[in-house]
Amino acid sequence: MMRIRRAGAPPAAKWPDGSGRIARLTCECRQTGVTLMRLLLLASACALGTAALAQGAPGAHFIENWDMDGDALISAAEIVEKRGEIFVMFDQNEDGALDTAEYDLFDETRRADIEANAGGRKGPMALVDQAMDRAFNDADGDGLVSAEEFTAKSAAFFDMLDKNGDGVISSADFKPGG
Ligand SMILES: [Ca+2]
Ligand SMILES: [Ca+2]
Ligand SMILES: [Ca+2]
């Protein structure tokens, strides 16, 4: 009789919200060659800081994902650090630039996350999506987003999202009409 294998840990193919989206991502990533390390980075990035902010507060999902030190505020330094991680995560061939295929996967992953967890690409998340877009980041328009180009846009990204100009990104910056 065959022995049933018991997993020692909960199924790895589960998104923190239990939707099982990691399974779909895993599948896509296998096709496109994302390393396991990157996938784990992606999973942990999405699970960070869940205790810092009440669910459903304006911008809660964004703040959860980008707040590295758990104070429910996003500093300019956190934006730079997180964008650096995102770049590395999606630069699958590690050549220091996001090409069309790499950016396509980035767009798809980001938009799926916004649709599933942040109320879609309307309202404040439209700005976030726009600022992560290829056109915004490819400063010289050559179709490749280099690490330098991506990093150089971090300050502009921060300024766009710090709507009330108090020097941090917080829930207040995501309030409707704010
Ligand atoms: Ca913070
Ligand atoms: Ca690349
Ligand atoms: Ca470029």
In the DSSP assignment, the letter for residue 92 is T
**β-pair partners for 145:** 98
CB 47 within 8 A of CB 57: no
Mean pLDDT (whole number) for 49-55: 49
Report the predicted TM-score, pTM, of the whole model to 2 decimal places. 0.68
Give a yes or no: residue 79 inside a domain.
Answer: yes
**Domain residue limits at 29:** 21-50+58-164
In a domain, 147, yes or no: yes
**E strand residue ranges, 55-101:** 97-98
User: Does residue 169 register a pLDDT over 50?
Assistant: yes
Indicate the burial class of 107 (C-beta count within 10 angstroms; 0-12, 13-18, 19 or more).
middle
DSSP secondary-structure letter at 2? Answer: P
- Ligand found nearest the CA of 137: 3
Distance CA 32, CA 118 (A): 26
CA distance 6 to 126: 43
For residue 6, tell me if it sits in a domain: no
How many Å lie between the centroid of ligand 2 and the Cα of residue 95? 5
Query: Is the residue at 4 inside a domain?
Result: no
Number of domains the chain is built from: 1
Which ligand is closest in space to the CA of residue 98? 2
Q: How far is the CA of 20 from the centre of ligand 1 (A)?
A: 28
pLDDT at 23: 46
- Give the best-scoring range by mean pLDDT among 15-29, 34-48, 85-99, 126-140: 85-99
Task: Answer yes or no: is 154 within a domain.
Answer: yes
> Residue 101 in contact with residue 32, Cβ under 8 Å?
yes
- 145: pLDDT confidence band, cut at 50, 70 and 90? very high
Q: What is the pLDDT of residue 54?
A: 58
Q: Is 2 among the domain residues?
A: no
State in Å: Cα 84 to ligand 3 middle: 16
Residue 10 resides in a domain: no
Amino acid at 8: G
**Is 158 within a domain?**
yes
Backbone torsions φ then ψ of 76, nearest 5 degrees: -60, -35
Look at residue 120 in the predicted model and tell me its pLDDT: 81
